[in-house]
Amino acid sequence: MSQTVMPSYGRADIAFETGDGPYLYASDGRKFLDFGSGVAVLSLGHKHPHLVEALIAQAGKVWHTSNLYNIPEQQRLADRLVANSFAETVFFCNSGAESVEASIKLIRKYHSANGNPERYRIISFAGSFHGRTLATISAGASDAHRAGFGPAVDGFDHVAFGNMNEVRAAITGETAGIMIEPVQGEGGIRPADPRFLMDLRALCDEEGLLLMFDEVQTGMGRTGKLWAYEWSGVKPDVMSSAKGLGGGFPIGACLATAEAAKGITAGTHGSTFGGNPLATAVANAVLDVMLEPGFLPHVVEMSKLLNAELKAVAQRHPSVIEEVRGAGLLLGMKCVVPNAELAAKAFEHGLLTVLAGDNVMRFLPPLIIDEAHVSEAIAILEECCGELEE
Ligand SMILES: *Cc1c(COP(=O)(O)O)cnc(C)c1O
């Protein structure tokens, strides 16, 4: 294979031609149950009719105008995100890393606007992932992601996930904020203790720090509420969103309180594509579906079922699976065998999953799955575990 595409990814040797709901069809005729959702992106599955309609309708009007002009669909999306979250204001971009990057800049600018430019450092956590730009690999925990890319961006202090003593000890006169995933995704599907989030909130209030939640993976219904923070009742000052926000169309957002965003004035931050008419038309269509009264309860119901069934598989096969953990339809199986081995078996049997750190296999089905899809996935897993035990 010639490398006209840079070989930055380890890819499975398959290409998909069409998708439909939670299914993908490969060009060689194989059919797959997609419990990876393009890494938690396809919140409504493939080819959702309402999203297809919204995309086509907007494509026939105007695709892109830039942020030099008003964008009605963007304004409407911001109004709806604000109406359905802690936030009072939204900045739009195109990806998760950019939404985290915007959050970092906003946190620094807040303290600068308050006359404290020396407060720029952000506390983040072991096991975290925040994206692949220079600032976000510096914020994230992975040494491998930083290796060979020169000096890390200064201003990030890493402490143990869940350890209040370490957080307190890391605070200095230069600390600006704390950044955390309510459920660590790439790092291995580790939910934060709600008590820990409450303690972080109290500490931030005490010390004048901004609390930022990275909900790029946990947001937009993934855990059964629109935002994962709703489970703990702890509201952040700043939050990043992307992945599920556009249901497959690239879009990201940084949501904040008006106070936290007070340093972001005209000309201080920007994006050429951010929140363009096509992206925001599709994201509005995603919200149309998710804000329907029965949608999130269905996610909770399916997550309980999948969680219980995965746990039952784990119990039957302790030599293959150690434990099941996560929240909503963001579930991980910590494996005894190498996670890649189990995932490869599942792939052979027509089930797509995603790997995560800590030897975890991730289940991120579209939020529209029903009981039959859960049964189908469980039957495949059962077979895979049986084969691995032989
Ligand atoms: C995926 C992810 C990101 C990065 O998103 P990209 O769209 O790949 O830039 C950042 N934070 C979290 C928590 C993520 O899961």
User: From CA 96, how far away is CA 73, in angstroms rounded?
Assistant: 20
Same domain, 234 and 313: no
Residue 9 maps to a domain = no
Tell me the three-class secondary structure of 32-79, residue by residue: EEECCHHHHCCCCCECCHHHHHHHHHHHCCCCCCCCCCCCHHHHHHHH
User: What is the CATH number for 362?
Assistant: 3.90.1150.10
* 367 and 380, same domain (yes or no): yes
Last residue of a domain, one of 241, 271, 290: 290
Q: Of the candidates 352, 310, 306, 350, which has an alpha carbon nearest to the alpha carbon of residue 334?
A: 310
Going from the C-alpha of 381 to that of each of 246, 252, 343, 373, 374, the distances in angstroms are 30, 33, 9, 12, 11
Q: Are residues 33 and 375 in contact, defined by beta-carbon separation less than 8 angstroms?
A: no
286 with 201, same domain: the answer is yes
6 within domain boundaries: no
Cα(264)–Cα(103) distance, integer angstroms: 11
Question: In the prediction, which pLDDT does 89 show?
Answer: 98
- Atom of ligand 1 at shortest range from CA of 215: 13
pLDDT at 390: 87
Q: What is the dihedral of CA 355, 5, 63, 21, to 10 degrees?
A: -40
Residues 264 and 355 in one domain: no
Residue 191 and residue 162 share a domain: yes
CA separation for the pair 334, 188 (Å, rounded): 8
Does 286 share its domain with 299?
A: no
- Is there a domain that residue 85 lies in? yes
Q: Is residue 3 part of a domain?
A: no
Same domain, yes or no: 339 and 225: no
Q: Is the CB of 356 under 6 A from ligand 1?
A: no
Nearest Cα residue to atom 6 of ligand 1: 96
Residue 98 structural domain: 50-290
How many C-beta atoms surround the C-beta of residue 68 within 10 A? 7
Within 10 angstroms of residue 3's Cβ, the number of other Cβ atoms is: 6
* Claim to verify: residue 21 and residue 87 sit in the same structural domain: no
Half-sphere exposure at residue 64, Cβ-oriented, CA atoms within 13 angstroms: 5
The answer to whether position 231 is within a domain reads yes
Partners of 241 in beta bridges = 253
Which ligand 1 atom is the nearest neighbour of the CA of 243? 7
Check whether residue 349 and residue 255 sit in a common domain: no
Q: Say yes or no: 120 and 218 in one domain.
A: yes
Distance 134 CA to ligand 1 centre (A): 13
The verdict on the CB of residue 96 being under 6 Å from ligand 1 is yes
Quick one: tokens of 168?
């307190």
Is 371 in the same domain as 259? no
Listing DSSP states for 122-165 in one string gives: EEEETT----SSHHHHHHSS-HHHHTTS-SPPS-EEEE-TT-HH
DSSP-derived secondary structure letter, 21: B
- Closest atom of ligand 1 relative to the 214 alpha carbon: 13
| CA-based nearest residue to 96, from 136, 126, 128 | 136
Give the number of domains in the chain.
2
Residue 45 lies in a domain: no
pLDDT in tens, the chain (390 residues): 568 999 999 999 999 999 999 999 999 999 999 999 999 999 999 999 999 999 999 999 999 999 999 999 999 999 999 999 999 999 999 999 999 999 999 999 999 999 999 999 999 999 999 999 999 999 999 999 999 999 999 999 999 999 999 999 999 999 999 999 999 999 999 999 999 999 999 999 999 999 999 999 999 999 999 999 999 999 999 999 999 999 999 999 999 999 999 999 999 999 999 999 999 999 999 999 999 999 999 999 999 999 999 999 999 999 999 999 999 999 999 999 999 999 999 999 999 999 999 999 999 999 999 999 999 999 999 999 999 998
Return the CATH number at 200.
3.40.640.10
Cβ of 214 below 6 Å from ligand 1:
yes
Strands 183-184 and 175-180: unpaired
Q: 123 with 160: CB under 8 angstroms?
A: no
Domain-located, residue 43? no
Determine which residue's CA is closest to atom 10 belonging to ligand 1.
130
Nearest to 219 by CA among 327, 325, 355: 327
Q: What is the pLDDT of residue 1?
A: 55
Determine the 3-state secondary structure of 185 from DSSP: coil
Please write down the HEC assignment for all residues of 280-298: HHHHHHHHHHHCCCCHHHH
Give this prediction's pTM: 0.98
Q: How far is the CA of 330 from the centre of ligand 1 (A)?
A: 14
What's the CA dihedral at 179, 360, 36, 146 to 10 degrees? Answer: 50
Of 290, 321, 342, the one marking the end of a domain is: 290
End-to-end CA distance of the chain: 35
The DSSP symbol for 317 reads -
CA distance linking residue 126 with residue 164, whole number of Å:
13
